[in-house]
């Protein structure tokens, strides 16, 4: 259990850091963090940090393909969590 909590803390911290770095790179016209990497981090468990980072840094908020993919990942994760928790309640 503690391994899972540590994993999620590290992954979400990395997700916030990469969103912040990508925002700085966008302002400085430097090499950017690939969107697919940000989406993979979200899919692996960093979606809370991705949503927080979008709001906090006002980053990737107008990119509709990115936003749709991110919300699809979040909805999939919520559905999976409800199904898993529902099994334990029966």
Q: What is each CA distance from 45 to 31, 38, 83, in whole angstroms?
A: 25, 11, 17
Q: How confident is the model at residue 85 (pLDDT cuts 50, 70, 90)?
A: confident
Q: Give pLDDT tens digits for 22-81.
A: 999 989 999 999 999 999 999 999 999 999 999 999 888 787 899 999 999 999 999 999
pLDDT score for 31: 92
What's the confidence (pLDDT) of residue 90? Answer: 57
Residue 19: burial class (beta carbons within 10 Å; 0-12, 13-18, 19+): buried
Residue with tokens 């979200």: 42
Amino acid 6: pLDDT: 96
What's the start-to-end Cα distance of the chain, in Å? Answer: 21
User: How many angstroms separate the CA atoms of 39 and 67, rounded?
Assistant: 10
What pLDDT score does 89 carry? 63
């Amino acid at each position: 259990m503690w391994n899972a909590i540590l994993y999620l803390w590290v992954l979400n911290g990395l997700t916030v850091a990469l969103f912040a770095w990508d925002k700085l790179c966008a302002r400085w016209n430097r090499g950017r963090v690939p969107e697919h990497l940000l989406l993979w981090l979200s899919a692996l468990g960093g979606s809370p940090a991705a949503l927080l980072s979008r709001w906090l840094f006002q980053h990737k908020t107008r990119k509709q393909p990115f936003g749709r993919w991110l919300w699809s990942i979040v909805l999939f994760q919520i559905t999976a969590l409800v199904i898993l928790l529902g099994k334990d309640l029966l």
